[in-house]
Structure 1
Amino acid sequence: MDDGVTALVEMIGVSKSYGGVRACRDVDFTVRAGEVHALLGENGAGKSTLMRVLSGDVTDYRGTVRVNGSPARFTAPVDAQRAGIAMIHQELDLVPDLSVAENIFLGREPRTRLRTVDRRRMTAETRRLLARCGIALDPRRPVAELRTGEQQLVTIAKALSLDATVLIMDEPTSALSPVEVERMFLVISELRRAGSGIVYISHRMEEIGRIADRATVLRNGAVVAEFDARELTAARAAEAMVGRPVQAMFRARGTEPGEELLAVSDLAVLPRRERPGRREPAGITLTVRRGEVVGVAGLLGSGRTELLETLFGAGPRGRRLGEVRFRGRPVRPRRPRQALRMGIAFVPEDRRISGLAIGHSVLANTVLSIVDRIALAGQVPRRREVSAVRRIVDELKVKLGSVHDPVGTLSGGNQQKVVFGRMLLTEPELLLLDDPTRGVDVGAKAEIYALLGRATEQGMGILLASSELAELIGVCDRVVVLSGGRSVRELDTRAVTEADLLAAAMGESEAVLAVEAS
């Protein structure tokens, strides 16, 4: 490099096509020792494909990859790992039935002199890696029992176990609370000081200026801009990503909320069977009016997801205390289908596991929730099915070739729109959203926020749980803060800061430390 900094990785003229779609077009990209290089772009811009080439997951591409100055052509991810390149995927690649330690060392288990798995050593090493990530978990605990954010931290620990010199991080903070994000940034700082190079993919613009040195923007598979990340503004990045000026990100609050739609009073759940790592409601009070967006804030493990699951009838069976009133009447949905019939819809946090049947078409996934409504004599007319799905796909601007395409072939943002579409087809009065913009690019975020604005104008009430504090303040009218499964404070977003939300969620002293660390 002309500035004397060692290039750990150089990608030169990399191109990759899927059928007639060019995912990457003559991309040049470098990663230097001791730097964080941000890779930006809309969902479907080519970021993941480019990194899959670098990590050995995609092998049939044109162009050149050099590692430490020497040409490299990986035939599998294990080849890239041996060369010192590791990737943390946005969609978690953990085995649910295996323990935390077994996942971290899968295929690389330490051995005793007798060649059996050295579980004591594996457990001790896992504890060390988890501590480095700032999380205390039992290494013997099954991954299936962990929350999404905890699973995200396990994948980071797994990547650290590889001692990679180049670490690719794809949306690593998408499921983390502010405190976990700060801990992860400390890990990144350690890696940078040790001379590692990091590729950082994120749709959270505020993170880029904090930790990245350079930023490269992809659009339609090609490099369209490069920036000094420390001078990059969210507006400039967004405009480069979408190819046009981005309008106001958050919804305009144009209407006054109407009558009370949902009233939750001292809601608590005593499940018949405990769910390890889950925080069931233990005393939550809140209200949602028509035409209003109410936010739910809280740290990892505060009970945000469990609250929404309970309201949707997807929580555990057991004794329920307190009261839930919907449209003025006491309700207690036991199953999601009951909630949908009442007029309550839910967009879950993990779209690939809880929200979509990945192997099935966009059509099948979208129409699933309204089969009963459009069926005639027990049969669903194909014409009515296709017409309903095409209408919602057009309304939400889902980018796809055909409604018959597998939903798994769509970008993350478009998959999320399909989940939204399926719920909106039920014509709900109350929409429950759990981190709805997780892993979604800035353009798709703006479209989702606009969608929420239109929904509230039509009188829909929205209860939105999010790990993004700026999103809660920008989108919601009020925010209810949870801690330990209880509602501890309600804040008006017209007079609140991110520091206020942090303080309410985790205590004043810890909040000050987190803000100062930023």
Structure 2
Amino acid sequence: MNVLVEMSDIGKSFPGVRALHGARFELRAGEVHALMGENGAGKSTLMKILSGIHARDRGTILVQGQPVEIASPAQALALGISMIHQELSLMPDLTAAQNIFIGREPRKGFGLLLDEARLNAQAAEIFAGLHLALDPGTPVRSLTIARQQMVEITKALSHRSRVLIMDEPTAALNAAEVNELFAIIARLKADGVGVIYISHKMDELQRIADRVTVMRDGAYVDTVPAATTSIDTIITMMVGRSLAGDHPGPAPVASAPAVLQVSGLRRGTAIRDVSFTLHRGEILGFAGLMGAGRTEVARAIFGADPVERGEITLNGRRLAIRRPQDAVRAGIGYLSEDRKQFGLATGMDVRNNVALACLGRFTGFGGLLKEGAMRDAAVRYIGQLGIRTPSDRQEARLLSGGNQQKLVIAKWLLRDCQVLIFDEPTRGIDVGAKSEIYRLLADLAQEGRAIIMISSELPEILRLSHRIAVMCEGRLTGILPGGASQEEIMRLATQRDANGVQGDAGAGARPMAEATA
């Protein structure tokens, strides 16, 4: 058994977050080893340590039996370790061959000129070894995503890499392109290359993986053979943590009047005919794995991204939402997952941020702001939401993450939005502040606000949601009651070929193929 990589007792912390503790991983030559786990399980952090992007705090790494320190991606490459990220890093205006050998181009004329003929010949040689029919002189911009991925693989192999880390390699590929990629991976296996395969797509495991390692909450869970381990077992390993306090979810509110109805929303492959209803006083949780399309749906409803088709109705009135201003005027507020970039003006004070969504209300004669009225509004919400700040003149950037989130909420409450969309409401917030945000969301629902909550944390979804809409690859694959299990959610979150219509009755845990409109 030729072990290429062995990672043991790996620990890594970032400010306020313990990302990895006691993590381990082993990769053998000529195997595809799948690395699985929920969002935030620590998979990417572990692989970034192996590829030299992050430095570990503790633990050992052996490469072909020798202990190593991997201080940079260049050092990882020198050790034969390459990582292909989900977001490809090619230069679109360069050719395939130029991208492969960038910074290492063969030269002629005393090193003054690039040797394009030799460059293309070297790329063609690697393409031939992979049975790839690809012209090295083709500009990357003109290649499909799948072909660009092949260029990334070729670039990694040009460094004579024996370890290839692939992060969600099929996320943007169709079925034919996936088959082509898998054929390439099979050839790499036959050549003794070890492939670390990070994916959320359960159906790919038994097609391609030899072994599966599962991580949960930054720690190692187990390594199992892919061929003889059921998908249900792997899902249970991924979500097996117990829920503190055992929160079954709030009581259903299906009898409450419908506030927001979304029908047939579509935008390419990102949103595929999504339909659902949101009721008064309801928190509708949106669950799904990374890239499932949850944020895309929220941005489409808010008018931040255009849609190809679909209908949005608020209180029985059809809306024409072409930009965020249209949504705001209709009474829809959106709290982005990146509050610092999209939710706050961090260089401005608390007072101005609270007033930001309705400045017209505070504008007097000659365009002068009514500072007194703005102060009164800010002070009211500082007290109501418990925003910890020395005064309403404190700059937003100086507040903690939890208080910044409350400040964004205050902005939309002052606007008196009927529908509030919370995208990852507790991202980057400490445990104490999370509880305050949870209580605040529950209070808003009790007041009759209709809330869409997107979260990658299943305990958070289960704790707060009256119903849970689950997405996979742009489709709404099921709507579950708030008391559903993590296993039920994960099953729908990995249900790739969902057929049928989206239903929004609160009648229980039905896959979409069985739901009725």
Tell me if the contact between 1:88 and 1:156 (Cα under 8 Å) persists in the aligned partners: no
Could you tell me how far apart the structure 2 residues matched to 1:261 and 1:279 are?
A: 23
Say if 2:347 is the partner of 1:357: no
Identify the residue that residue 11 of structure 1 maps to in structure 2. 7
Identify the residue that residue 188 of structure 2 maps to in structure 1. 191
Identify the residue that residue 20 of structure 2 maps to in structure 1. 24
| Aligned residue identity for 1:400 | I
Other structure's SS at 1:159 match: helix
Tell me if the contact between 1:94 and 1:103 (Cα under 8 Å) persists in the aligned partners: no
Could you tell me how far apart the structure 1 residues matched to 2:250 and 2:93 are?
A: 42
Deviation at 1:190, TM superposition (A): 2.9
Deviation at 1:6, TM superposition (A): 1.0
Mapping 1:2-81, distance limit 5 Å = 5-18=1-14, 22-59=18-55, 61-81=57-77
CA 1:248–1:306: 2 relative to 1, 3 Å: closer
Deviation at 1:228, TM superposition (A): 2.2
Tell me if the contact between 1:16 and 1:60 (Cα under 8 Å) persists in the aligned partners: yes
1:265-304: CA deviation from partner (whole Å, max 9, x where unpaired): 9x99xxxxxxxxx9699xx9987544599x9xxxx9xx99
Other structure's SS at 2:212 match: strand
Tell me if the contact between 1:133 and 1:184 (Cα under 8 Å) persists in the aligned partners: no
Could you tell me how far apart the structure 2 residues matched to 1:220 and 1:306 are?
A: 26
Other structure's SS at 1:339 match: helix
Gaps of 5+ in 1: 269-277, 406-416, 457-461, 478-488, 499-518
CA 1:62–1:100: 2 relative to 1, 3 Å: farther
Mapping 1:333-482, distance limit 5 Å = 333-344=321-332, 357=341, 371-372=356-357, 377-378=373-374, 380-381=378-379, 384=385, 385=387, 389=405, 400-401=429-430, 440=456, 444-445=457-458, 447-448=460-461, 454=466, 466-467=472-473, 472-475=476-479
Tell me if the contact between 2:99 and 2:155 (Cα under 8 Å) persists in the aligned partners: yes
1:352-410: CA deviation from partner (whole Å, max 9, x where unpaired): 7xx8739999999xx989853699834545564566836989x96657337999xxxxx
1:487-507: CA deviation from partner (whole Å, max 9, x where unpaired): xx9646768769xxxxxxxxx
Could you tell me how far apart the structure 2 residues matched to 1:323 and 1:137 are?
A: 45
Deviation at 1:55, TM superposition (A): 0.8
Say if 2:320 is the partner of 1:332: yes
Q: 1:172 aligns with which of 157, 169, 172?
A: 169
CA 1:280–1:20: 2 relative to 1, 3 Å: closer
Could you tell me how far apart the structure 1 residues matched to 2:322 and 2:98 are?
A: 34
| Aligned residue identity for 1:160 | T
Identify the residue that residue 487 of structure 2 maps to in structure 1. none
Deviation at 1:155, TM superposition (A): 5.0
CA 1:52–1:362: 2 relative to 1, 3 Å: farther
Deviation at 1:339, TM superposition (A): 1.4
Could you tell me how far apart the structure 2 residues matched to 1:259 and 1:207 are?
A: 39
Could you tell me how far apart the structure 2 residues matched to 1:240 and 1:172 are?
A: 23
1:144-171: CA deviation from partner (whole Å, max 9, x where unpaired): xx9xxx7687356313322132111233
Could you tell me how far apart the structure 2 residues matched to 1:390 and 1:29 are?
A: 40
Q: 2:151 aligns with which of 157, 162, 187?
A: 157
CA 1:154–1:25: 2 relative to 1, 3 Å: same
Could you tell me how far apart the structure 2 residues matched to 1:304 and 1:137 are?
A: 37
Q: 1:105 aligns with which of 97, 100, 105?
A: 100
Deviation at 1:332, TM superposition (A): 2.9
Could you tell me how far apart the structure 2 residues matched to 1:329 and 1:243 are?
A: 43
Tell me if the contact between 1:250 and 1:475 (Cα under 8 Å) persists in the aligned partners: no
Q: 1:203 aligns with which of 200, 204, 209?
A: 200
CA 1:97–1:204: 2 relative to 1, 3 Å: closer
Could you tell me how far apart the structure 1 residues matched to 2:116 and 2:406 are?
A: 53
RMSD: 6.1
Percent identity of paired positions between Structure 1 and Structure 2: 30
| Aligned residue identity for 2:213 | T
Could you tell me how far apart the structure 1 residues matched to 2:88 and 2:7 are?
A: 25
Could you tell me how far apart the structure 2 residues matched to 1:233 and 1:121 are?
A: 49
Q: 1:86 aligns with which of 67, 82, 88?
A: 82
Tell me if the contact between 1:133 and 1:183 (Cα under 8 Å) persists in the aligned partners: no
Other structure's SS at 1:357 match: helix
Tell me if the contact between 1:224 and 1:240 (Cα under 8 Å) persists in the aligned partners: yes
CA 1:324–1:26: 2 relative to 1, 3 Å: closer
| Aligned residue identity for 1:199 | I
Count of aligned pairs:
419
Other structure's SS at 2:5 match: strand
1:462-504: CA deviation from partner (whole Å, max 9, x where unpaired): 8x874166xx333399xxxxxxxxxxx9646768769xxxxxx
Other structure's SS at 2:466 match: helix
CA 1:123–1:196: 2 relative to 1, 3 Å: same
Tell me if the contact between 2:249 and 2:462 (Cα under 8 Å) persists in the aligned partners: yes
Tell me if the contact between 2:248 and 2:462 (Cα under 8 Å) persists in the aligned partners: yes
Tell me if the contact between 1:251 and 1:450 (Cα under 8 Å) persists in the aligned partners: yes
Gaps of 5+ in 2: 363-371, 389-402, 410-421, 482-498, 504-509
Calculate the TM-score normalised by the size of structure 1. Answer: 0.58
Tell me if the contact between 1:169 and 1:200 (Cα under 8 Å) persists in the aligned partners: yes
Could you tell me how far apart the structure 2 residues matched to 1:404 and 1:120 are?
A: 60
Could you tell me how far apart the structure 1 residues matched to 2:312 and 2:358 are?
A: 26
